Amino acid sequence: MSYLSNCWYMAAWADEVENGGLLARKLLDQPIVLFRDEQGELGALYDRCPHRFAPLSKGQVANGGLTCGYHGLAFDRNGTCAHNPHGPILRNLSVRQYPVVEAHRAIWIWMGDPALAEPGSIRDLSFLVSAPETAFSKGYLHGQGHYLLYVDNILDLTHVDYLHATTLGSGAFTRTRAQVSETDGHIRVRRDCLNEIPSPLMRSIRGITEADRVDYWNTVEWSAPAVMTLSGANVPAGEARDGPHNNMNTMNVHIMTPETSRTTHYFFASTRDFAVDDAAFNARFAETRNNIFSTEDEPMIQAQQQRMGDADFWDLQPQLLRIDEPSVRVRRKLAQMIKAEAEREQTCHQVEQSAGAPER
């Protein structure tokens, strides 16, 4: 399977890797070991010792690097062998190293050309850091489906009217046509749901009934490869969006990193501007969200993947509807980016060969 390589993928939440600890995770079909040295500095290496191919994640963090648990060879964060207890350090005793950065409560990894890794190109998710702990929650799902199926799920929120009818759905997303736009490579999907029935969750939080009406706004913004924000706000119907009752703003992230062609690391988090000091509410809010994802979204996407099998999405000739515009645009844009990246790599390879340079 082809992936976009020269971009930042979320590899883990920052607190998944403690000082002196490590985490084994497959990303884009590649086994990776993430670790922190005793001072908290991050490293990411291909999870295979060059000696006898044992997983380095079966070893331990020591002396600022990673020691193989099979025969004791040690590697620093650059993948260079720092210690060979059995003799001299040979030139070929090295492991592939990946650029890795901590930002926005997360660990980000660059799976492509290290020379192109620029931390400033990581999507700005600073609102996750500024949120107080009592108004922030996060989670992770090991998804049993292709990562773009999870992307589709967030881009087309009409599914909440059916899959989440008892919590998030009221029919409003189905009745409201999405406005789709693109700016600076980001694809945005906005819905203005006016004079609508409040969802069950909205009724519970606001203390209103199904007979009441609300105006609410929802915007999803995608950036490559699969980083999405989802913002929402609501007011009583007819009130100004910046009026006195606009105290129901939420900001969410949904980040999908491919594990394999049929499995996904799904990271998500939420913040809000109401009940920000209420830790009990925060816990209930997180529990409700996690339950929705794990018992409704995930089983449906897993079943979807099972029906698709190993077939390519487009080869199955999906019968597209108007609501599919955002996901089609994202899939086509991502395919164009992957193709352009492959063509650049091929051109560089041909130039190197013609110049007599060694292959990379």
What pLDDT score does 242 carry? 79
- H or E element that contains 142: strand 136-143
Q: What is the mean pLDDT of the segment spanning 198-222?
A: 94
pLDDT band with cut points at 50, 70 and 90 for residue 353: confident
b (16+ CB within 10 A) / e for 323-360? bbbbbebbbeebeebbeebeeeeeeeeeeeeeeeeeee
Task: Report all structural domains of the chain as residue ranges with CATH numbers, in order of start.
Answer: 8-121 (2.102.10.10), 130-310 (3.90.380.10)
Q: How far apart are CA 85 and CA 302, in angstroms?
A: 47
Q: What is the mean pLDDT of the segment spanning 27-37?
A: 97
pLDDT band with cut points at 50, 70 and 90 for residue 346: confident
What pLDDT score does 245 carry? 67
pLDDT tens digit string along 186-202?
A: 999 999 999 999 999 99
CA atoms lying within 13 Å on the CB side of residue 11: 33
**Could you tell me if 198 and 210 are in contact, meaning their C-beta atoms sit under 8 angstroms apart?**
yes
Q: How many other CB atoms sit within 10 Å of the CB of residue 248?
A: 18
Residue 149 Cα distances to 299, 308, 329, angstroms = 12, 11, 14
pLDDT tens digit string along 96-134?
A: 999 999 999 999 999 999 999 999 999 999 999 999 999
Indicate whether 56 pLDDT > 90.
Answer: yes
Mean pLDDT of the chain: 94
Distance spanning both ends of the chain, measured CA to CA: 21
What pLDDT score does 221 carry? 98
pLDDT tens digit string along 243-265?
A: 776 667 999 999 999 999 999 99
pLDDT band with cut points at 50, 70 and 90 for residue 17: very high
Q: How far apart are CA 360 and CA 356, in angstroms?
A: 12
pTM for this structure? 0.94
pLDDT tens digit string along 60-93?
A: 999 889 999 999 999 999 999 999 999 999 889 9
Q: pLDDT exceeding 70 applies to what percent of the chain?
A: 98
Indicate whether 360 pLDDT > 60.
Answer: no
What pLDDT score does 348 carry? 79
SS3 89: coil
pLDDT tens digit string along 312-322?
A: 999 999 999 99
What pLDDT score does 357 carry? 57
Angle separating helix axes 325-354 and 147-155, nearest 10 degrees: 140
pLDDT band with cut points at 50, 70 and 90 for residue 358: low
Torsions phi, psi of 344, nearest 5? -65, -40
